[in-house]
Structure 1
């Protein structure tokens, strides 16, 4: 492994032109913002509307993911699919495009048991040479991915090949369970937008995967926690949790807010979310989250000095 996969790795929010096509310029703009904020890398993940992209778009986005880093950090591409065959194809293409690691979600329509999950992930690990992050998406798993299944994957392939993003509620104790089941070897990434980062960090994390709009906020929080400054970390962590409570009501609700944040800051040109979503953000909700977001940006700037 040529790069260490760790730290703050925000997810790119898929930008679209007015025509509805991918906006590659705004993709690269988000990458610049992420690295200018001091983050360690970027991710194309489920919050990137991955499942709403065409096959050709997914291939192109993997290429953009690798291209956008330009030697500044880590690139991680999501390559999960409904079959191992499709996931292997996406994974091999992403590796060939030059990404540093893969974020792999399990099938969302098939109720795989532990043996089925281990077989699915094993086929993907063995098809590439770069690390994979096993992504357990709590809202999409028909059968939860057990701690035992995750530990089996780590024992079989090692901590440099298999890492984990265990989005399964309650998240903090799941982090501890995975840590303990692997004798502390598991490299775990928090994936709730920083909502539970204050608690999860002390249980042992390799990093956190927020999204572009909170890159500098979560980046500051992570650095405070890494330095042991719990007092100032709480000043950011608690209001950030409240913001995430607003945003995480659904994927489309999150995107409607996050993309408006990015547009207001000039990082992207519009707030388009690909259908069939028709969610419209009401102004009362916007006024509350915008006030809180502005406070967090100001605070993160203050605490980064």
Structure 2
């Protein structure tokens, strides 16, 4: 089964001024990222404002990215939803349109215990072919529910097609624990952009990075240098990548991503309410700040 690796860009979703998914802008973003050398694309996640879209819109985004990528890079669709049936619908749709796999965020907002967590992934995975890969997406600071390494071991034992975890909390101890799930045969991809190189050194397969959307080059350089064994170059590249992560406020405001994409010639589009676009003064300040990197 395919796995995520290298620079896995968590894509933004561009919306038009009248609040529609901007398909042309999404196609342009997909092509831009491929040309810049990222290894994988990950649309419809947190960076993609997934919970603010309808199931139909999420299917449109998935179809657009998969079709435009045309097999040139690995594409995993994030399909986790507030409703289990919708999660299954989106996962089955991703498999049907030819995505390489899916990510599924933990149940959100309402507290679930270990039994419910394991049962959730068993049910979602049972609705998919056994050879269609699934990543558990753990982001406790937003989804409320966490998954310990012990619980992840139970999920992995119960679900043959769970190949790994996307872990978006900056806890190196937990990352190391996840690396030992299933006897070490478990893919771990962090979401902390500034920990890319340290996580690669620990054995992680890559990084799911929102900050690599506007500035993919810095992250591609980290991965290339690490893969070639040039740790000095990898460290230097990580320093540059981390500078950009700080400029982009660690991905806390996707409007920053969208505006930088626009600065670079890729239409970033608008945010979806209740999230807000940057105002004109903030856009001007951001452009001045990132001008040396454009």
* Cα deviation digits, residues 36-83 of structure 1 (max 9, x gap): 112222111210111111222112122223212112021111110123
Shift of 1:23: 0.9
| 2:76 matches 1:79 | no
Q: Contact between 2:107 and 2:143, CA under 8 Å: does it hold in 1?
A: yes
From the superposition, tell whether residues 143 and 18 of structure 1 become closer, same or farther in structure 2 (CA, over 3 Å). closer
Shift of 1:221: 0.9
Shift of 1:22: 1.0
> What secondary structure, in the 3-state scheme, does the structure 2 residue paired with 1:188 have?
strand
* Cα distance in structure 1, aligned partners of 2:256 and 2:156: 36
Q: Contact between 1:41 and 1:69, CA under 8 Å: does it hold in 2?
A: no
From the superposition, tell whether residues 261 and 128 of structure 1 become closer, same or farther in structure 2 (CA, over 3 Å). same
* Cα deviation digits, residues 204-243 of structure 1 (max 9, x gap): 1122211321222211111111222111112121232233
* Cα deviation digits, residues 157-198 of structure 1 (max 9, x gap): 34x64211112332x222111113433211111212x21112
* Cα distance in structure 1, aligned partners of 2:86 and 2:58: 12
| 2:138 matches 1:140 | no
2:230 paired residue number: 229
1:52 paired residue number: 52
From the superposition, tell whether residues 13 and 7 of structure 1 become closer, same or farther in structure 2 (CA, over 3 Å). same
1:301 paired residue number: none
* Cα deviation digits, residues 235-271 of structure 1 (max 9, x gap): 12123223323434664x2x12211111011111x54
Q: Contact between 2:194 and 2:242, CA under 8 Å: does it hold in 1?
A: yes
Q: Contact between 1:37 and 1:215, CA under 8 Å: does it hold in 2?
A: yes
Stretches of 4+ aligned residues off by more than 4 angstroms: none
From the superposition, tell whether residues 103 and 183 of structure 1 become closer, same or farther in structure 2 (CA, over 3 Å). same
| 2:206 matches 1:207 | yes
> What RMSD, in angstroms, separates the aligned Cα atoms of the two structures?
2.1
1:262 paired residue number: 261
Structure 1 regions of 5+ residues with no counterpart?
A: 295-305
Q: Contact between 2:108 and 2:145, CA under 8 Å: does it hold in 1?
A: no
The total of aligned residue pairs comes to: 287
- What pairs up with 1:134-173 in 2 under 5 angstroms? 134-158=136-160, 161-170=162-171, 172-173=172-173
* Cα distance in structure 1, aligned partners of 2:245 and 2:156: 31
Shift of 1:280: 2.8
Shift of 1:279: 5.4
Return the TM-score normalized by structure 1: 0.86
* Cα distance in structure 1, aligned partners of 2:217 and 2:250: 23
From the superposition, tell whether residues 70 and 250 of structure 1 become closer, same or farther in structure 2 (CA, over 3 Å). closer
Return the TM-score normalized by structure 2: 0.89
Q: Contact between 1:8 and 1:39, CA under 8 Å: does it hold in 2?
A: yes
> What secondary structure, in the 3-state scheme, does the structure 2 residue paired with 1:134 have?
strand
> What secondary structure, in the 3-state scheme, does the structure 1 residue paired with 2:15 have?
coil
